[in-house]
Each structure stands twice: as structure tokens, then as C-alpha cells.
Amino acid sequence: MITFHNHQHTLHQGKLEMFRGELVPCFEVPARVEHVLAEIERRGLGPVRQPTSFDDSALHAIHTPRYLDFLAHAWDEWVALDPANAARDALPSLWPVRSFRSDVLPANFTARMGLFSFDAGTPLMAGTWAAARSGADCALSAAQQVADGARAAFALTRPPGHHAGADFFGGYCFLNNAALAAQHLRDRGAARVAVLDIDYHHGNGTQAIFYARPDVLFTSIHGDPNTEYPFYLGYADERGEGAGLGCNQNLPLPRGTGFSVWRAALAQALQGIARFGADALVVSLGLDTFDGDPVAGFKLQSDDYLRVGADIAAAGLPTVFVFEGGYAVAEVGVNAVNVLAGFDNR
């Protein structure tokens, strides 16, 4: 399996995030990718390549122009407010909820940052845009590899992407890599694409992007949003809307779920993908379902991920894997490569 590695991911390295009422060191760190890369090389999974550069038209197929413009210039604007800001990350502090307006783009930077975000746990820094932009190229390169006939490809990148919507960031995510890959597969001839999100946290951004579309199925196995982040999407009754009704499948599970129950949900998700008649598959590969993850609550063990990969391979679809969450840093490399090896060896 070919891996496309985002060599610019280290440009994004947050200092602090808001977690349970206090500022703490970020859980989403560069070592996550480095552990996966080291394990790929140790086990000889396949070649590792740098991504091809794609023009911004691919981004505009998923994200709104004013949101992309904000991300591209946010750091310079943050520092322009106060030169001392160069030494600290930018975090949002207010949001336009419910009856507030969101159609007007405020001149004030803090107001605009709140307009385009949904949490205070996603710091933005000098290298965020470059890292996210290169990550998008990884996802698009992996999708292109599959569109060209490869059985599978892996986009190894951070920051992750599945919480990013068309015009919002959060959950450590800025550009939605899985959505970009799915759209690229559509643009290259796949009539129907399925996105399978197996991260512990619901891919609210991916769902929101495709919720009214009949050509992309989004299906997700995740912690119950009654108790688990990101809370406000991910319920089982969210089935899509308009032309996309029936093209959204959420399979929320309670904290503490073990592998046998989780695997049954995966079988249900794959059955839905088969009924949909997908021509290609994008997997949001989150590894925070691992028992030792510090910000999640499922009980999967490292060996379980071999079976996860094999089960996904049994769907028989050209597949793009996109790296998402997984914050048990020492184990994330083994867990990620176990999925990929399980897929390859099926």
C-alpha cells in the first residue's frame, strides 16, 4: 500500500488547548504521525511518497471561499493585532449561537475566528495553514492513486480533518481530508462514494458536508453524542435530508464498548455501504477507539485492528485511508499499521 506523508505536518504544533475547564498541553501532537511512519517503515508496508500539489479548486469543492480565506490569513491577522501574539497560539473565545447572525463577516478578528469555529480546543498557529494545506494534498494524492487503479492508498497527515465542515474548524481539524478525497473520487469517475468513519468521535464535519447529497454515503461508528464529543451531531435518527435522505448512517455506541459489539456495528456499516452500491470507499481512520486512549472510551486492543482492516477489505472496494484521531501516542503506530496490514493481507 502506498502512503502519502505530509512532511509539513510538524509546522502545526499547538501549545495549549481548553480541556475540561483548563488549558492543558495539546493531545494532538506531531509524534502521532512519526510513530505511524516509523511503524510503516519497520514492517515494510509499502512505499512512502510526498504528495502531489493540487490547486485550490479541490478545496473550493468542499469549503466556502470566505472560510478558506480566513484560514489562509488568520495567523498574519492575529499577529497584526499585537506583535506579542507571535508567541502564543490563537484560540476562539466566542461563538454566534442560534439566533445570532452568521451571514455578516465581521471586521473584528476575534469575531471572525468565533464565526468559523465550534470549540476552544483547536489552537491555530503560524504553520497551521501550511500543514493543513499539505495534508489536503496528501488526501487528494491518495484518492488520485486509487482513481488510477490502486486497490488502496493511505494519507498520513495531521492536523486531522473529519470535524471540519464547509465553513468551520474544531476538534483539531481545519480542512476535511476525507471529504476532499471523496469528492476527488467522484470527480474522477466514481458514481457513488462511501465514507466510513471509525474514529471514536463522530465526524460531524463530514456529515454536514454531505448531508443533503445522494452520491456520497456517510456512515459512522462512534461514541454516543449524549455523553461524547462533539455532542451536537451523531445521533442514529440523522439519516440525511432532501436528495440525501437515507445517505447518512450513524451507529453510536456507549462508552466502554468492547470489540465484539463494535465489530458488529462495523458489519452493519459495511452492509449499508453494500446496499448503497458504492464504487469506492474513504475510511476516516481514527485509532482513538483503543482502550488506552486518553480522550475516548472504547475498549479495542491492538490485535483487534488487524481484524478491522480485514473486515474493511472484505467490502471489495477501492479504498482511501485518511489518518484521523488516536491520542495514545506510543501505540498509535502499531494500531494504524495493523488496520492497513489487515487490509493488505485479506
Find the catalytic residue in 163, 201, 202, 222. 163
Helix, strand or coil, per DSSP, at residue 337: helix
Spatial contact of 343 and 3, defined as CB atoms under 8 Å apart: no
Q: Please check whether residue 323 is in contact with residue 139, taking contact to mean a CB–CB distance below 8 angstroms.
A: no
Residues 6+ apart with CB under 8 A from 260: none
| Phi and psi based region of residue 151 (left: phi greater than 0; alpha: psi -120 to 50; beta: remaining) | alpha
Strands 22-25 and 16-19 come out as antiparallel
201 is catalytic: no
Peptide linkage before 47 cis (omega within 30 of 0): no
CA 4 to chain centre: 15
> Which among 189, 246, 247, 257 has a CA at the least distance from the CA of 223?
257
Instruction: Tell me which residue of 155, 170, 130, 135 sits closest to 11, measured CA to CA.
Output: 130
Residue 86: CB atoms within 10 Å: 11
| Neighbouring C-beta atoms of residue 273, cutoff 10 Å | 22
Alpha carbon distances (Å) from 219 to 188, 248, 269, 343: 22, 6, 6, 19
- Give the residue numbers marked as catalytic: 163
